[in-house]
């Protein structure tokens, strides 16, 4: 099973990534540290190649009212 965890290298995201890797599924820890930036849209094609599950634990902050509309 292929699982993508958005924010997988952060404080919260590392916990499910580590637990799931112990159980054997293929885990993609998607974060700017792995060249995947969900806010900017960078690296998404690479991250979302046939995942069965996507989990979002990213801590995205928006500083301007219009930022949320870009998603």
* pTM attached to this predicted model: 0.76
pLDDT digits (tens, 9 = 90+) for 11-68: 889 999 999 999 987 999 999 889 998 888 899 898 888 999 999 998 766 566 665 5
DSSP per-residue codes, 13-49: THHHHHHHHHH--EEEEESGGGT-BTTTTBTHHHHTS
Q: Is the pLDDT of residue 70 over 80?
A: no
- Residue ranges of the domains in the chain? 2-58
Q: Is the pLDDT of residue 6 over 90?
A: yes
Q: What pLDDT score was predicted for residue 29?
A: 93
């Amino acid at each position: 099973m292929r699982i993508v965890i958005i924010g997988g290298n952060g404080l919260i995201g590392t916990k499910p990534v580590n637990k799931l890797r112990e159980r054997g599924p293929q885990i993609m820890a998607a974060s700017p540290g792995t060249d995947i930036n969900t806010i900017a849209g960078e690296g998404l094609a690479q991250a979302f190649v046939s995942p069965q599950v996507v989990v979002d634990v990213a801590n995205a902050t928006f500083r301007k009212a219009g930022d949320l509309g870009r998603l």
